[in-house]
Structure 1
Amino acid sequence: RTCPGRYQLLVNESEPCRFLLDTVFAKGMTVRQSKEELLPQLRDQCKLDLSIDRFRLRKKTWKNPGTVFLEYHVYEEDINISSNWEVFLEVLDEPERMKSMSQLAVLTRRWFPTQMKLEPFREVVLETSSVDELKEKLSEMSEIPLENLEFAKGRGAFP
């Protein structure tokens, strides 16, 4: 059994990472089983009343959100864990869209140069992980025509 620390990922807050609780996962347990066990702890200890399809677990690398753990993943088979292993718990606004490891979840922010402002983070889930697909999805979300769309990868640590 492993005791990972749980941190809540709050991508649009000034402090995007806050400690929630410690919990225990067993080798061979699926991510879905761990989420089911977490629900009462989250409700009682953290005052978070969530449904199982409205939060996800992600790899935590320092303060950066990493791989989304899918419900069928098995600890110590699909997900390597260690004694100092920590994960993010991310509350979702809609049911989970990540269903396969072939998909890629990308956090995006729109820049408004005339106002010198960034909009809050929005997630884009890509099926093919291609630049063309990313451009198409960003164009749909922002209503910016494809020919006028530019993007860049942010530097440094998240956010």
Structure 2
Amino acid sequence: MTTTPSTDVPVVRELAERHGIPVDRGCAAAEATSEVRSVLDRVGDKWSVLILGMLSAGPQRFTELLHGIDGISQRMLTLNLRQLERDGLVSRTVHAVVPPRVDYALTGLGETLLPPVLALVEWALAHTRTIRENRDVFDARRPAG
């Protein structure tokens, strides 16, 4: 029986089977795992999470997103918005006004992603201090250099 390494994890196998994804067919299992990894790469990306969080408040213009997300460059925002639009998580609406106006908003699919994303953000906020302390302890044990 051939499976990909990530489908050997019991919880991944159980979730895959629940969604009808073949996990015991070699190439089919690898393809399904690759697709899941591709989606998780997009929705787990730090910029995507922050963009989705900003859009949870309602439609935003590009400049509102740019100024509201600390540290993101215009290029990175553009690339991420395109990918989120490509995946069907964000819509882009061009308004025929002068000067031109473009709004970005969550789609229905994007809204279904909000609960798990916001739960992850909430978890990060609740545990940031402990994680920082653990990192400090770990780093102090390691020799310099």
TM-score normalized by the length of structure 1: 0.24
More helix by share: 2
Structure of higher RCO (CA pairs closer than 8 Å, 6+ residues apart): 1
* Structure exhibiting the larger radius of gyration computed from Cα positions: 2
TM-score normalized by the length of structure 2: 0.25
